[in-house]
Amino acid sequence: MTTDVIALTERMPDAWSLVAGLMAGGPDMGVATVGEGAVIQLCDDQGRPLASIEAPMLVRTPGEVARLLGPGAAGVTEPVWWTEVRASTAARNSAALAGALATRLVTQLGGAVWPPEAAAADGGAAPVADVVTASAPAAAQPAVDVLTDSVAAVIQDRPVVAMTAWLSDALRAALESERGLQIVTPRTSRLSLPTRSLLSGLPNRWVVQDGEGGYFDGQSGSGLVWKNGAFTATGTPAPAFVAATAEAADTGEQQLLLTGVTCRPADRGLQLGGALETLWQRLTGAPPAGWGTAEPANLSWSRQELTELARRRAPDPSLFMVVGDPSRPAVSTMRVGRTTGGVEEDLTLALGYREGAEPPLDTLPDLAAELVAGHGLVSLLIQRRRGRADLTVPAHLEAAPAPVAFVLGAEAVRDLGLARARRVPLPDGPVQLGPASGAGLYYPVPDGSWDAFQALMGYLHSLGKERDADR
């Protein structure tokens, strides 16, 4: 497996501390920069990278280090400087080199090395000898371990595979080159929700080692083989996936999942994140704790700063990760883009509930009404499921989500006609949200039935076709 080592330091790594860290490879190693200077690489005498060092990131959000690194980061409290060191899989002794480099930074700046066992016993004082690259790396992208004509493969050995900045760059580069991204992990790894959502869609895959020399898809459970430069499904369930699913205990934990779209006019006074903040406040009792363009979400929550960044990037779309206080697990992604109708925010929000806690389903109609009235809600799907309260995704089958309700915003209801949109093929009619002149509709789904939900969607779709035919 590849070796990722993180220096979690109390003080910011400056140029001199980075230079001292880079000397962990001895005076004969070269130094190069890629990614417009955002990544520093230690190279052998032929210019082949041995270790890549990401730009330091100040993580202010409480609980982010523990959320992504687990018990191995015990004792580390935010704010903390997060500096990733990624060792080349093609180089012998590269793991020791990455550990020594991170240890040197921590020795100078205070803090901790993650994982703890990667720390150099001598404090990184002695240069690491015999670091040799076996072959030229297959990809210039520092995060990629194997590059073929069809996929970019990344090998990870972390408790939680998060959508870090470098992994996000690898995904972007793979898409731009019309390749899939395939992340290879041991069975013990889990995915963060942003990673799972961005990894969806073939040929992207989560490739899990079964511990016996085989592989399976961590989401579908299909056995995988390396064929024609990519991990390809065999079409049969992997025994390791089946066994892991059978062994997984029902802990009584739950998740509430919300997926929605808002759209508002693109005026100068617009501030993004209002709908998401409202959801968070009503469902957890507090606003989001932090946000960022990748994980860890390193910035304290600020709608103004988020809006300013999205405005600087426009007309290109922006994707943001948002997290909550560790006492109330919640994770969100928010994609912002311009459309002919204005500025759209595509939201996903997942909330975790430990055993004995119940999602506040009775508050959802009033919450939906607030989104319709004040935040330009277009639509919202609400689901619940049995699943981990920490919102990470394990490499076994989880219970499927069940639909709780579907919400249509005022513009969609107006287009379909309020009277017709109320006459749905369900035992109970929808709840009207607001006055008739600007009403949205909240459709409860009886007994979490997907059949009932599909009937509802079919009916609303038919109304849309009738409307289009009349125009």
CB proximity list for 412: less than 8 A, separation 6 or greater: 378, 379
CB proximity list for 413: less than 8 A, separation 6 or greater: 421, 439, 440, 441
User: Which residue do the tokens 């606003």 mark?
Assistant: 287
Residues 383/367, Cβ–Cβ less than 8 Å: no
Query: Could you give the CA distance from residue 51 to residue 256 in angstroms, rounded to a whole number?
Result: 40
Q: Determine phi and psi for 82, rounding to 5 degrees.
A: -110, 115
pLDDT at 36 over 90: no
- Paired with 87 in beta bridges are 3, 51
pLDDT at 341 over 90: no
Residues 58/11, Cβ–Cβ less than 8 Å: no
Cα 318–chain centre separation? 14
Q: Tell me the C-alpha to C-alpha distance, in Å, between residue 155 and each of 32, 88, 201, 283.
A: 23, 10, 19, 36
| % of the chain exceeding 90 in pLDDT | 66
Q: Determine phi and psi for 158, rounding to 5 degrees.
A: -130, 155
| Cα–Cα nearest to 429, from 443, 417, 439, 416 | 443
Q: Determine phi and psi for 133, rounding to 5 degrees.
A: -85, 125
| Residue 387: Cβ within 10 Å count | 22
pLDDT at 122: 75
pLDDT at 219: 93
Query: Could you give the CA distance from residue 91 to residue 100 in angstroms, rounded to a whole number?
Result: 15
- Which amino acid, one-letter code, is at 77? T
Tokens representing 385? 């499921």
Q: If phi over 0 gives left and psi between -120 and 50 gives alpha, with beta otherwise, what is residue 175? A: alpha
Per-residue pLDDT, averaged over 298-316, amounts to: 95
Answering whether pTM is above 0.85, one says yes
pLDDT tens digit sequence for 356-394: 999 999 999 999 999 999 999 999 999 999 999 999 999
Q: Determine phi and psi for 68, rounding to 5 degrees.
A: -100, -25
Q: What is the DSSP string of 240-296?
A: HHHHHHHH----S-EEEEEEEEEEE---TT--TTHHHHHHHHHHHSS---EEESSSS
pLDDT at 38: 66
| % of the chain exceeding 70 in pLDDT | 89
- Which amino acid, one-letter code, is at 355? E
pLDDT at 327: 87
Q: Determine phi and psi for 434, rounding to 5 degrees.
A: 95, 175
Query: Could you give the CA distance from residue 264 to residue 306 in angstroms, rounded to a whole number?
Result: 16
pLDDT at 136 over 60: no
Cα 269–chain centre separation? 29
pLDDT tens digit sequence for 216-274: 999 999 999 999 999 999 999 999 999 999 999 889 999 999 999 999 998 888 999 99
pLDDT at 139: 46
User: Which residue do the tokens 């511990």 mark?
Assistant: 211
Residues 281/375, Cβ–Cβ less than 8 Å: no
